[in-house]
Amino acid sequence: MALLVQPSDLNTAIYQDVLDEITRADATLITRAIVAAIQEAKMYLSRYDLLQLFGTDTTDPTVIDGYLKYLVVDLAAWQIIKLASPNIDYNHLRVCYEDAVASLKMIQSGKANPEDWPYADTTGETAPQGDSVAYSSNPKRCNYF
């Protein structure tokens, strides 16, 4: 399987012996958590070429970005400690998860633009249908005489 994050990459967030204790040495639980984390990250990154960033089950990603990998590891670590959290600072990993989601939301909204991430092809048949419209107004005034 050609995942962006491999089970061995989770050692940066959770020690291997603690990871084995949580999952009871079941590698399928780790893989499921990684796949769920990748799916969550993809929800926020739809304007980028997801095939190049994440790859598929059979192909490796062509753009390897350390920051994206770091974000997915934080998301996957949170998925894993939902099973149990022995010898893990639960609040620390919760903050890491929330920070990763906040970073993905900033990237999604265009407030942050990661270097060298390829945008999705919007030419020809893959062009988005319809127009994007944004509107706003001034705050309501309350005048008293």
Between vectors from CA 100 to CA 94 and to CA 105, what angle results, nearest 5°?
125
Q: Would 127 be classed as within a structural domain?
A: no
Q: Would 11 be classed as within a structural domain?
A: yes
pLDDT band for position 95 (cuts 50, 70, 90): very high
Q: How many domains, in total, are found in the chain?
A: 1
Segments forming the whole domain that contains residue 30: 7-120
Model pTM score: 0.79
pLDDT in tens, 109-143: 888 889 888 988 766 555 555 555 667 788 888 88
Q: Would 135 be classed as within a structural domain?
A: no
Q: Would 142 be classed as within a structural domain?
A: no
**Which element (helix H / strand E) includes 45?**
none
What average pLDDT does this structure show over 80-95?
87
The more confident residue out of 106 and 87 is 106
What average pLDDT does this structure show over 73-83?
93
Beta bridge partners of 48: 119
Q: Would 46 be classed as within a structural domain?
A: yes
pLDDT in tens, 4-60: 899 999 999 999 999 999 999 899 999 999 999 999 999 999 889 999 999 888 888
Q: Would 81 be classed as within a structural domain?
A: yes
What average pLDDT does this structure show over 98-112?
93
* 43 CB neighbour count, 10 Å cutoff: 9
Q: Would 134 be classed as within a structural domain?
A: no
The backbone region for 21, taken as left when phi is positive above 0, alpha when psi lies in -120 to 50, beta otherwise, is alpha
